[in-house]
Amino acid sequence: MTSSSLIALGAFGVAVLTFIATQIAARRAGIESESDRKIRRLEKDVADCEEAKMRVERRNIDLADENLSLLRRVVNPDADHER
Amino acid sequence: MGARALRVALSGVTATWRRARLAKVALGKYIILLACLLHLGWAVLLLADSGATAATGVHTLSIVCGGPFRTSFVLVCVALAAIAFPFLRERVSNKALAGMLIPQQLMLLISAGGALAAVFNHHYADGVMRTSTFILTDQLPLILLAFLYTVAVLEAAFSAE
């Protein structure tokens, strides 16, 4: 067997191993087809939306707290001095 | 104790590497682009002058494919298939991914194997004798490209969305 054949055989072996690894990765991720991919993308979008919603809610709560403290300061300006 | 410390340090380095980002875009596509440009360049050069098959990176490919013209054809085919991949990533299945990228990986691995053979034989494919360190220094980009391309293919498969 010539060195070229050996090299080609070795390269082919590594390529086959890579192919098997890519297919195992697909199985593990549950991706078999285009529709699987679409479902995963949509799931990711939904998760991103949920996260954004949570961020907005947290921000709303912070603003409400800020409003309340401002209101308290307007109603009772001496309260801060008392504290 | 020493081995454990080494393992902890290594895991720290690998974790940092995994988090490291140079840009907002994934960089694997640039490795694929580099390989495609290399193969298209080789194909053009082989068509221009069939004597280019004596170059170390192309020599084994030429033997495996059976001549400069067939090698050019194969190189153009694998390069076009691979360059189409980043544009079709969202639409192709994992089997198609393998079908588009792995032929080019095979070509790169054969080139890298030829380069390693030259290192061990102490001479380039055209017979010019040099020290193995000289040849390794010269051929290291090709060997590293084959390695990084394999990593890029695996990354594309494992980080599929």
Inspect the interface and report whether the beta carbons of A34 and B64 lie closer than 8 Å.
no
pLDDT surpassing 90 at residue B47: yes
Please report which helix (H) or strand (E) contains residue B107, including its range: helix B94-121
The answer to which of B3-7, B13-17, B28-32 has the lowest mean pLDDT is B13-17
Q: Provide the β-strand partners of residue B129.
A: B123
Backbone phi and psi for residue A69, each to the nearest 5 degrees, phi listed first: -65, -35
Min CA distance, B2 vs chain A (Å)? 33
Show Cβ contacts of residue A23 under 8 Å, excluding neighbours closer than 6 positions.
B94, B95, B98
Q: How far apart are CA B93 and CA A25, in angstroms?
A: 12
The answer to which of A49-63, B3-17, B29-43 has the lowest mean pLDDT is B3-17
ipTM for the whole predicted complex goes beyond 0.85: no
- Looking at per-residue confidence, does B35 or A44 come out higher? B35
Tens of each residue's pLDDT in chain A, 83 residues:
678 888 888 888 999 998 888 888 777 766 666 677 778 788 889 999 999 999 999 999 999 999 999 998 888 877 655 54
Q: How far apart are CA B133 and CA A37, in angstroms?
A: 47
Inspect the interface and report whether the beta carbons of B160 and A25 lie closer than 8 Å.
yes
> What residues in B contact A7, CB-CB < 8 Å?
60, 110, 113-114, 116-117
Side chain identity, residue A27:
R
What is the chain A residue with the closest CA to B155? A22
**Residue B123, by phi and psi: left (phi above 0), alpha (psi -120 to 50) or beta?**
beta
Distance of CA B46 to the CA centre of its chain: 19
Q: What is the pLDDT of residue B23?
A: 56
The answer to whether residues B160 and B49 touch, using CB atoms and an 8 Å cutoff, is no
pLDDT in tens, B127-149: 899 999 999 999 999 999 999 99
Nearest CB among B64, B94, B153 relative to A8 is that of B64
Show Cβ contacts of residue B56 under 8 Å, excluding neighbours closer than 6 positions.
B114, B115, B118, B124, B125, B126, B135, B139
- Looking at per-residue confidence, does B156 or A9 come out higher? A9
Inspect the interface and report whether the beta carbons of B94 and A32 lie closer than 8 Å.
yes
Q: Is A35 on the interface with B (CB under 8 A)?
A: no
Nearest CB among A7, A37, A40 relative to B110 is that of A7
Rounded to 10 deg, the angle between the B56-65 and B132-158 helix axes is: 60
Q: What is the pLDDT of residue B118?
A: 93
